[in-house]
Amino acid sequence: MQQSHRTYHWAAASLLQCLLAAVALGQQTYITRFDQFDGYTYLNSPMVSLAENGYHTQFGVRPVTWLALGFDYSISQGDLTVTPNLLLPSLQQSLGAELQQLAAAGAIPAGYKLVAPAHSLTQTFAGGPQLSTHRWKAFTLFVRPSVGIIHETATLKLTDPIEQAVVQQLAPSGKKTDHVIFYGAGGGIDLNVSRHVVLRIQGDFVHDHLFSDLLQNGRNTVRLSIGPAFEFGSNIAK
């Protein structure tokens, strides 16, 4: 048993030494002019119970080693749920009065909860600067402002006859589309697999107010992405 403990401690110490050695190797000496990222993305807006999966791509150019300028696009889809408490006060009042009339007529069961489920398709478009540090050979850290346009299409998924009678008044066609500006911040890490390939792990936290004609408050959205980025062009670290 003591021998196994000594073996475990020796392995852990060796791994730690390897990690420290990798960090101590110094800053990167090969930094390319361009990069292209393509990967999986997960988008989440807790306020409307929105969870989406999709695709994320970026293209960037580095005028200097610590600064990149680029374009960012993502497309994802999933399901969301809107409840009456999220709506504008005037809409809450009108829906509440309508539900009271239905209840008085015995058309809805006691304790009925109105919800509006929908399928969502979301696209984001952004561009701007990104700051990075190439101090360590094994990885690159970066941060950026996140400002752009978010475009969302919500298609109602109503199966309950009461939902269909009440909620479709908000979107008679069964579909609602909107686009607004979002703002926030993001960042992540590039794990340097080779000179020309990295594994990028990144996230953005932003705020927007989609469907302001229906929803009384804006919402916070988190986007997480992972995938390969390909580095190409001349070495600007010379």
pLDDT band at 10 (very low <50, low <70, confident <90, very high): low
- Tell me whether residue 22 is in a domain: no
Neighbours of 169 (CB within 10 A): 11
Rounded to 5 degrees, what angle do the CA atoms 87, 206, 141 make? Answer: 165
Predicted confidence at residue 205, as pLDDT, reads 98
Measuring CA to CA, which residue among 123, 174, 177, 183 is closest to residue 147?
183
CA distance 167 to 188: 40
CA distance 139 to 134: 7
pLDDT band at 8 (very low <50, low <70, confident <90, very high): very low
Q: Give the CATH number of the domain where residue 102 resides.
A: 2.40.160.20
pLDDT band at 12 (very low <50, low <70, confident <90, very high): low
Mean of pLDDT over the chain: 89
- Tell me whether residue 55 is in a domain: yes
- Tell me whether residue 9 is in a domain: no
Give the residue numbers spanning the domain of 165. 27-235
Residues paired with 178 in a beta bridge = 152
Q: Is it the case that residue 4 has pLDDT exceeding 50?
A: no
Q: Is it the case that residue 131 has pLDDT exceeding 50?
A: yes
Q: For a pLDDT cut of 70, what percent of the chain falls above it?
A: 89
Rg, the chain, Cα only: 25
Summarised one tens digit per residue, pLDDT across range 160-191 is 888 887 777 788 888 999 999 999 999 999 99
- Tell me whether residue 12 is in a domain: no
- Tell me whether residue 206 is in a domain: yes
Predicted confidence at residue 19, as pLDDT, reads 46
- Tell me whether residue 18 is in a domain: no
CA distance 216 to 85: 9
Summarised one tens digit per residue, pLDDT across range 66-123 is 999 999 999 999 999 999 999 999 999 988 888 888 888 888 887 788 889 999 999 9
pLDDT band at 159 (very low <50, low <70, confident <90, very high): confident
Pairing of β 67-82 and β 139-156? unpaired
User: Contact, 120 vs 78, CB < 8 A?
Assistant: yes
CA distance 128 to 182: 13
Q: Is it the case that residue 17 has pLDDT exceeding 60?
A: no
Helix (H) / strand (E) element for 117: namely strand 116-133
Q: Is it the case that residue 47 has pLDDT exceeding 90?
A: yes
Q: For residues 115 and 205, which has the higher predicted lDDT (pLDDT)?
A: 205
Give the number of domains in the chain: 1
pLDDT (mean) for 217-235: 97
**What is the reported pTM?**
0.85
Measuring CA to CA, which residue among 83, 87, 154 is closest to residue 122?
154
How many angstroms separate the Cα of 205 from the Cα of each of 42, 180, 183, 209, 220?
A: 12, 16, 8, 14, 7
- Tell me whether residue 2 is in a domain: no
- Tell me whether residue 136 is in a domain: yes
